[in-house]
A and B are shown apart, each in its own frame.
Chain A
Amino acid sequence: MNEPQPAKPEITEPSVPEADEAVAAQTESAASQEVDREIARRTRRSLLVGGIASLIGAGAWEWLRTRRDDDEVQWPFRLALRANDQLSRDYLSETRLARTFSLADVEPPRRNGMYGLDGNPDPNWKLTVDGASDDSTELSMAEIKALPKVEMITEFKCIEGWSRILHWGGVRFRDFAEKYGPDDLDPNSYVYIETPDKQYYVGLDAASAIHPQTLLAYELNGKPLAVENGAPLRLAIPLKYGIKNIKRIGRIEFTDHRPADYWAEQGYDWYAGF
């Protein structure tokens, strides 16, 4: 920090003759006052500009805070979230892979998020598929398991901020979509997935759904899915926050319109992708 300046400037100059001394002192005193006036003027001006800038900032804050909600978040923020998503989709690669881990890294799952999981799963469970053809299709577990089995060890990241390295077993959503989805699935279309009781639902961009690491999983850490982990079939999508990894899937719909999403309706980002 700078040394505090002396309050009174030095004004004595011993070599000056006495008669001139008074004049010199007067001149210096006048110059000194001029400096004081100048800095006072500059201070006033800067504080005025700063004050106006602060008011503009406070106004912007108040304006942002009071905008009407678009799904539980003020619309300028919703706009920003969507702009971020568009940037990600346009300028980042949708084919990059999430980091994979070894078996030794696997951790126990954390129990979290029981929406749509009331009661036990229906023993006669079938997966309903819509939007692929004019009619709805119903698939049994055997038909899903007939697709090539894939295992992956990835980091499951909850939007709350914690993560778990989990070992998934299931089928690629891409393989499922090729066989049971629409012909030539447009990556710019969407996928909607909901629980049998429709209490929990997620919307996905099709590009993320057909990513090679997006699985319809029926095993977790080497065992069949437990009820609390989403039995009989759930989504494992390491490209997205945990909220998109829907448990106990009842129905999958291929659609051209951006589908509803449980947490996006509560103020969260719809895309929610890494």
Chain B
Amino acid sequence: MKRLEAKHPRAIRWFHWINFPLLAIMIWSGLLIYWANPVYRIGVGNFTLFHFFPESFFTALNLNQRLADGMAWHFLFMWLFAINGLAYVIYTAVSGEWRYLVPNRNTLREAIQVTLYDLHLSKTHPPRRKFNGAQQIAYTSIILMGVGSLITGLAIWKSVQFAWLTSLLGGYRAARMEHFVLTVGYVLFFLVHIAQVIRAGWNNMRSMITGYEVVPTDEVTS
């Protein structure tokens, strides 16, 4: 026997899906800006393991010579990205949805267990509830990263008006790097997120579209 169970509230689904193109535009326009001074790399001394980014990357994605374009998009869509993010945080706080998301003292242990299970290193099944420990950490981190992007962005954009903030972040150059690292973080999050959504299957993904999940009635869900 099975039934439908409400999972994701409508507001959260809207915030989630609206954020997707907004963040994509922020990353794309950020790359148009980054192209003008693409100095970051992973390496030690003269040894470079990976350079952000090879010239071919910028060329392939048509990111060359578009600094003004990038700034124009970035400084308009930053408002929409911030408003949507803020609306999500307010809704989550007011509706009580935060209870499913914010980690507690059991979260870390559970997250490790979930990770081991996902990597086929453990047979202990993750708990069946809305968000397991790994998800709680991931989804809370991504919100904190969003806050971080707004703060580091503000510190770069208005580095005199918010000089105290820029200094707190280690200076103008450090703030720019932190802003970039957070963006790399989004891309990594996205890759894992997509892989996990595919693994979890259509019923799970559909719940982010319709809000409902089909569950067996004999199964206890919280």
Contact = CB atoms under 8 A, between A and B. Distances in A.
- Please say whether chains A and B are actual partners in one complex: yes
Interface of A: 1-6, 9-11, 28, 31-32, 35-36, 38-39, 42-43, 45-47, 50, 53, 57, 72-74, 76-78, 80-81, 84, 88, 92-93, 96-99, 155, 157-163, 238-239, 263, 266-269, 273-274
Given A3-B128, A98-B159, A99-B166, 7 more contacts: A46-B210, A99-B167, A159-B36, A162-B37, A267-B72, A269-B71, A274-B161
A161 B50 CA distance: 20
Contact of B210 (A2, A43, A78, A239): A43
Interface of B: 1-4, 17, 21, 33-34, 36-37, 39, 67-69, 71-73, 75-76, 79, 118, 125-126, 128, 132, 135, 157-161, 163, 166-167, 172-173, 176, 196-197, 199-201, 203-204, 206, 209-218
Nearest to A3: B128
14 contacts: A4-B203, A5-B203, A39-B210, A76-B76, A77-B76, A80-B75, A80-B76, A98-B163, A157-B172, A160-B36, A163-B173, A238-B160, A267-B68, A274-B159
B154 to A, nearest CB: 11
A92 B71 contact: no
A10 B218 contact: yes
A30 B37 CA distance: 64
Given A1-B199, A77-B76, A35 B172 contact: no
A72 B68 contact: yes
Contact of B2 (A5, A72, A266): A5
Contacts, number: 139
Given A84-B75, A162-B39, A274-B158, A11 B201 contact: no
A2 B172 contact: no
Given A1-B204, A96-B163, A99-B166, A35 B209 contact: no
A73 B72 CA distance: 8
Contacts of A47: 209
Contacts of B167: 99
Given A9-B2, A163-B172, A77 B206 contact: no
A81 to B, nearest CB: 6
Contacts of B204: 1-2, 4
B4 A38 contact: yes
B125 to A, nearest CB: 7
A97 B162 CA distance: 10
B69 A267 contact: yes
B68 A92 contact: no
A50 B210 CA distance: 10
A35 B163 contact: no
Closest 4 CB pairs of A and B: A161-B37, A267-B68, A77-B72, A1-B200
A257 B197 CA distance: 56
A35 B203 contact: no
A98 B158 CA distance: 10
A273 B159 CA distance: 9
Given A73-B68, A80-B76, A35 B4 contact: yes
Nearest to A161: B37
Given A2-B213, A32-B2, A157-B172, A96 B161 contact: yes
A28 B1 contact: yes
A24 B200 CA distance: 31
Contact of B212 (A3, A39, A84, A97): A39
Contacts of A96: 160-161, 163
Contact of A3 (B36, B67, B125): B125
Contacts of B135: 1
A84 B68 CA distance: 15
Contacts of B36: 159-161
A72 B73 CA distance: 13
Given A80-B72, A267-B68, A50 B209 contact: yes
A82 B214 CA distance: 50
A238 B215 CA distance: 61
Contacts of B196: 1
B159 to A, nearest CB: 5
A73 to B, nearest CB: 5
Nearest to B34: A161
A159 to B, nearest CB: 7
